[in-house]
Amino acid sequence: MDFVARVYVTPKKAILDPQGKAVASSLQALGYDGVDDVRLGRYIELQLSGVAGSKAAENRVDEMCRRLLANDVIEDYRFDIEEKLEEQRA
Amino acid sequence: MDFVARVYVTPKKAILDPQGKAVASSLQALGYDGVDDVRLGRYIELQLSGVAGSKAAENRVDEMCRRLLANDVIEDYRFDIEEKLEEQRA
Protein backbone atom coordinates (compact mmCIF):
# COMPACT_ATOMS: atom_id res chain seq x y z
CA MET A 1 0.00 0.00 0.00
CA ASP A 2 1.12 3.52 -0.77
CA PHE A 3 0.84 6.40 1.65
CA VAL A 4 1.54 10.12 1.89
CA ALA A 5 2.84 11.24 5.28
CA ARG A 6 2.81 14.89 6.28
CA VAL A 7 5.10 15.74 9.17
CA TYR A 8 5.01 19.06 11.07
CA VAL A 9 8.02 19.90 13.21
CA THR A 10 7.88 22.94 15.52
CA PRO A 11 10.19 24.32 18.19
CA LYS A 12 8.97 23.38 21.68
CA LYS A 13 7.04 26.10 23.54
CA ALA A 14 9.85 26.66 26.06
CA ILE A 15 12.47 27.08 23.31
CA LEU A 16 13.25 30.51 21.88
CA ASP A 17 12.40 30.81 18.20
CA PRO A 18 14.51 33.65 16.74
CA GLN A 19 13.38 32.90 13.16
CA GLY A 20 9.76 33.21 14.22
CA LYS A 21 10.52 36.45 16.05
CA ALA A 22 12.19 37.81 12.91
CA VAL A 23 9.15 36.95 10.81
CA ALA A 24 6.86 38.61 13.38
CA SER A 25 8.88 41.85 13.32
CA SER A 26 9.01 41.83 9.53
CA LEU A 27 5.23 41.48 9.39
CA GLN A 28 4.86 44.36 11.84
CA ALA A 29 7.27 46.45 9.74
CA LEU A 30 5.03 45.74 6.71
CA GLY A 31 2.12 47.21 8.66
CA TYR A 32 0.36 44.08 9.92
CA ASP A 33 -0.80 44.78 13.45
CA GLY A 34 -2.18 42.09 15.67
CA VAL A 35 0.43 39.45 14.88
CA ASP A 36 1.01 38.32 18.45
CA ASP A 37 3.33 35.41 17.90
CA VAL A 38 4.94 33.46 15.06
CA ARG A 39 6.51 30.01 15.34
CA LEU A 40 8.53 28.73 12.44
CA GLY A 41 8.93 25.03 11.82
CA ARG A 42 9.44 22.47 9.09
CA TYR A 43 6.89 20.73 6.91
CA ILE A 44 7.97 17.39 5.43
CA GLU A 45 5.97 15.42 2.88
CA LEU A 46 6.97 11.77 2.43
CA GLN A 47 5.76 9.40 -0.30
CA LEU A 48 5.86 5.83 1.01
CA SER A 49 5.33 2.67 -0.97
CA GLY A 50 5.12 -1.03 -0.15
CA VAL A 51 3.88 -0.54 3.42
CA ALA A 52 1.73 -3.31 4.93
CA GLY A 53 -1.02 -1.06 6.30
CA SER A 54 -1.82 2.27 7.91
CA LYS A 55 -0.71 1.13 11.38
CA ALA A 56 2.65 0.02 9.97
CA ALA A 57 2.99 3.33 8.13
CA GLU A 58 2.26 5.21 11.34
CA ASN A 59 4.89 3.29 13.29
CA ARG A 60 7.45 3.74 10.57
CA VAL A 61 6.94 7.51 10.26
CA ASP A 62 7.03 7.94 14.04
CA GLU A 63 10.37 6.12 14.11
CA MET A 64 11.70 8.25 11.22
CA CYS A 65 10.72 11.38 13.14
CA ARG A 66 12.52 10.27 16.27
CA ARG A 67 15.63 9.09 14.43
CA LEU A 68 16.06 11.76 11.78
CA LEU A 69 13.33 14.26 11.02
CA ALA A 70 12.92 15.96 14.39
CA ASN A 71 15.19 16.74 17.30
CA ASP A 72 13.25 15.49 20.31
CA VAL A 73 15.15 17.70 22.75
CA ILE A 74 14.10 21.02 21.27
CA GLU A 75 11.31 20.17 18.81
CA ASP A 76 7.81 18.75 18.83
CA TYR A 77 6.45 16.82 15.90
CA ARG A 78 3.11 15.57 14.74
CA PHE A 79 2.08 13.91 11.49
CA ASP A 80 -0.86 12.62 9.53
CA ILE A 81 -0.94 9.75 7.08
CA GLU A 82 -3.18 9.32 4.08
CA GLU A 83 -3.50 6.33 1.78
CA LYS A 84 -2.74 7.13 -1.84
CA LEU A 85 -5.51 6.18 -4.21
CA GLU A 86 -4.82 4.68 -7.64
CA GLU A 87 -5.46 7.90 -9.57
CA GLN A 88 -3.10 9.95 -7.36
CA ARG A 89 -0.15 7.67 -8.04
CA ALA A 90 0.82 9.16 -11.41
CA MET B 1 -11.57 37.99 17.16
CA ASP B 2 -8.47 35.90 17.65
CA PHE B 3 -7.26 33.35 15.14
CA VAL B 4 -4.51 30.79 14.64
CA ALA B 5 -3.26 30.51 11.07
CA ARG B 6 -1.19 27.54 9.94
CA VAL B 7 0.76 28.13 6.74
CA TYR B 8 2.43 25.35 4.73
CA VAL B 9 5.04 26.41 2.18
CA THR B 10 6.47 23.81 -0.22
CA PRO B 11 8.77 23.98 -3.23
CA LYS B 12 6.79 23.85 -6.49
CA LYS B 13 6.66 20.44 -8.20
CA ALA B 14 8.88 21.56 -11.08
CA ILE B 15 11.56 22.93 -8.72
CA LEU B 16 14.43 20.72 -7.55
CA ASP B 17 14.42 20.14 -3.80
CA PRO B 18 17.98 19.21 -2.76
CA GLN B 19 17.09 19.29 0.97
CA GLY B 20 14.29 16.80 0.38
CA LYS B 21 16.61 14.61 -1.68
CA ALA B 22 19.16 14.66 1.16
CA VAL B 23 16.51 13.60 3.68
CA ALA B 24 15.38 10.79 1.35
CA SER B 25 18.93 9.42 1.00
CA SER B 26 19.51 9.68 4.76
CA LEU B 27 16.34 7.69 5.39
CA GLN B 28 17.47 5.06 2.88
CA ALA B 29 20.89 4.94 4.57
CA LEU B 30 19.10 4.28 7.88
CA GLY B 31 17.42 1.28 6.26
CA TYR B 32 14.00 2.68 5.37
CA ASP B 33 13.07 1.27 1.98
CA GLY B 34 10.07 2.46 0.08
CA VAL B 35 10.62 6.18 0.65
CA ASP B 36 9.94 7.29 -2.90
CA ASP B 37 10.08 11.02 -2.52
CA VAL B 38 10.55 13.66 0.16
CA ARG B 39 9.67 17.34 -0.16
CA LEU B 40 10.85 19.70 2.51
CA GLY B 41 9.02 22.92 3.23
CA ARG B 42 8.23 25.39 5.98
CA TYR B 43 5.47 25.34 8.53
CA ILE B 44 4.48 28.71 10.01
CA GLU B 45 2.04 29.19 12.87
CA LEU B 46 0.69 32.72 13.35
CA GLN B 47 -1.33 33.99 16.31
CA LEU B 48 -3.57 36.83 15.16
CA SER B 49 -5.65 39.13 17.33
CA GLY B 50 -8.14 41.90 16.69
CA VAL B 51 -9.28 40.62 13.28
CA ALA B 52 -12.83 41.47 12.18
CA GLY B 53 -13.82 37.96 11.07
CA SER B 54 -12.65 34.76 9.43
CA LYS B 55 -12.93 36.19 5.90
CA ALA B 56 -10.76 39.15 6.93
CA ALA B 57 -8.25 36.80 8.56
CA GLU B 58 -8.10 34.71 5.40
CA ASN B 59 -7.45 37.75 3.21
CA ARG B 60 -4.80 39.07 5.58
CA VAL B 61 -2.91 35.76 5.79
CA ASP B 62 -3.05 35.30 2.02
CA GLU B 63 -1.54 38.76 1.60
CA MET B 64 1.17 37.99 4.19
CA CYS B 65 2.04 34.81 2.27
CA ARG B 66 2.39 36.66 -1.00
CA ARG B 67 4.35 39.57 0.47
CA LEU B 68 6.65 37.80 2.92
CA LEU B 69 6.10 34.19 3.92
CA ALA B 70 6.38 32.43 0.56
CA ASN B 71 8.28 33.07 -2.65
CA ASP B 72 5.59 32.78 -5.32
CA VAL B 73 8.11 32.06 -8.06
CA ILE B 74 9.45 28.81 -6.62
CA GLU B 75 7.07 27.94 -3.80
CA ASP B 76 3.45 26.95 -3.30
CA TYR B 77 1.58 27.81 -0.15
CA ARG B 78 -1.65 26.85 1.50
CA PHE B 79 -3.04 27.67 4.91
CA ASP B 80 -5.87 27.02 7.27
CA ILE B 81 -7.36 29.36 9.83
CA GLU B 82 -9.00 28.49 13.12
CA GLU B 83 -10.75 30.77 15.55
CA LYS B 84 -9.21 30.75 19.01
CA LEU B 85 -11.67 29.96 21.76
CA GLU B 86 -11.58 31.70 25.14
CA GLU B 87 -9.88 28.82 26.98
CA GLN B 88 -7.08 28.52 24.40
CA ARG B 89 -6.05 32.12 24.86
CA ALA B 90 -3.89 31.50 27.93
CB-CB neighbors (< 8 A) of A44 in chain B: 20, 23, 38-41
**Domains of chain B as residue ranges with CATH:** 3-14+41-88 (3.30.1280.10)
If DSSP codes are grouped into helix, strand and coil, which group holds residue B47?
strand
ipTM of the complex: 0.86
Cα torsion through A10, A31, B81, A2, rounded to 10? -50
Of B35, B36, B68, Cβ closest to residue A26: B68
Q: What is the pTM of this model?
A: 0.88
Q: Which residue of chain B is at minimal alpha-carbon distance from A66?
A: B27
- Per residue in A1-50, pLDDT (tens digit) is 899 999 999 999 999 999 999 999 999 999 999 999 999 999 999 999 99
- Supply the pLDDT for residue B27: 96
- The answer, yes or no, to whether residue B59 has pLDDT greater than 90, is yes
pLDDT band at A87 (very low <50, low <70, confident <90, very high): low
The model's pLDDT over B12-28, given as tens digits with 9 standing for 90+, comes to: 999 999 999 999 999 99
- The neighbouring-strand residues paired with A18 are none
User: Cα–Cα distance between B59 and B89 in angstroms, integer?
Assistant: 22
